[in-house]
Amino acid sequence: MPLAASDLDALSLSLGNGPQTVIKVLIAVFLLGIALDTRVADLSAVVRRPAVLVAGVVAQFAVLPGVTLLLCRALDVGGSVALGMLLVACCPAGNLSNLLTHRARGDVALSIAMATSSNLLAVLATPAAFGFWAASYPAADALLHDIRLDPVEMGVEVAVLIGLPFAIGVAVASRRPDLAARLRRPMEVAVLALLMVVVVAGLATRGRVIGEHLGEVALPAVVQNAVVLLIGYGVGRALLLRAAGVRAMTFEMGVRNTALALVLALAYFDDLGGVALVVAFWGLWDVVTGLALSTTWRRRAAPEREAAAAAA
């Protein structure tokens, strides 16, 4: 018998210990592949733009979750849906942000610097921010008490999934740039393909139930995605960045690390179906909106470049 809409918090999406472990390993390897493209020069760029980076980091770990909390209250979402929305908001920028910024003719150097700083800070900031903001929404806070989420344990999980692969990737890129260049692209593609296979296979048996509840998570995820993109655009304009910088800031705010969020959701909230459903839908929708926006900006940038070249 299908679950009623009010029973979304009771929907179990547990994949079992085996698939969850495989997913964690795949995510760590995927982040290692991303880190293989990071150079020490990218890290030094962080200290050259302190005001912009500080503003961006504060917006990511304070403004985005705060606005998400207001959205949860305005939409009156259930506890597990709120946890999913807040988990996405408290995760660092997604790796796709750099690609989308490049595609949109944005400031790639700023995008890389922000993504680097937010992912490094996420080891401490994500568990702390998530625990704080989730406790501010009564329905979510009640669920957290029921499952006894340990912030320290979650912090260790984030450190293993982000910190360790990132450190190894940067070390390899610095000492063996030729090897890093050969490994990065095939590693990313292979890991993403395997990750999709594991997740889809694990959830296939629950497809009917997931379909029945998809409508409950779609609207909050779509609204939140639009709002965080607007926040990124607004932060870029408020900092008086040029058009390329505004585009980079928009994607750094709007493209979240939903891969990390999904791993955390399956690891800690597998008995709260709304969490994983929100994160999974968010990740798919984020790709759609990101590609659409980057394509629009890319087309707009072409005549801008031609005009600038003519003026020169």
State residue 179's pLDDT score. 80
Which residues lie closer than 8 Å to 200 by C-beta, 6 or more apart? none
CA distances from 248 to 19, 70, 91, 94, 112 (A): 35, 25, 18, 12, 9
Contact 286, 256 (CB under 8 A): yes
State residue 137's pLDDT score. 95
State residue 31's pLDDT score. 66
State residue 2's pLDDT score. 37
Distance separating alpha carbons of residues 36 and 141, to the nearest angstrom: 38
DSSP state of 161: I
Q: Give the mean pLDDT of 123-152.
A: 83
Contact 153, 131 (CB under 8 A): no
Domains for the chain: give ranges and CATH numbers.
15-298 (1.20.1530.20)
State residue 292's pLDDT score. 94
DSSP letter string, 11-78:
------HHHHHHHHHHHHHHHHHHHTT--HHHHHHHHHSHHHHHHHHHIIIIIHHHHHHHHHHHHT--
> Please, which pLDDT band fits residue 145 given cuts at 50, 70 and 90?
confident
Query: Which of 77, 80, 93 is CA-nearest to residue 286?
Result: 93
pLDDT tens for residues 203-262?
Answer: 555 555 566 777 788 999 999 999 999 999 999 999 999 999 999 999 999 999 887 788
Contact 183, 36 (CB under 8 A): yes
Query: Which of 228, 209, 227, 220 is CA-nearest to residue 273?
Result: 209
pLDDT tens for residues 30-73?
Answer: 667 666 766 666 556 556 778 888 899 899 999 999 999 999 99
Distance separating alpha carbons of residues 135 and 86, to the nearest angstrom: 10
What's the gap between Cα 155 and its chain centre? 16
128-142, 159-173, 255-269: which has the highest mean pLDDT?
A: 128-142
3-class secondary structure, 80: helix
Which residues lie closer than 8 Å to 7 by C-beta, 6 or more apart? none
Residue 309: pLDDT over 50: no
Residue 4: pLDDT over 60: no
State residue 20's pLDDT score. 62
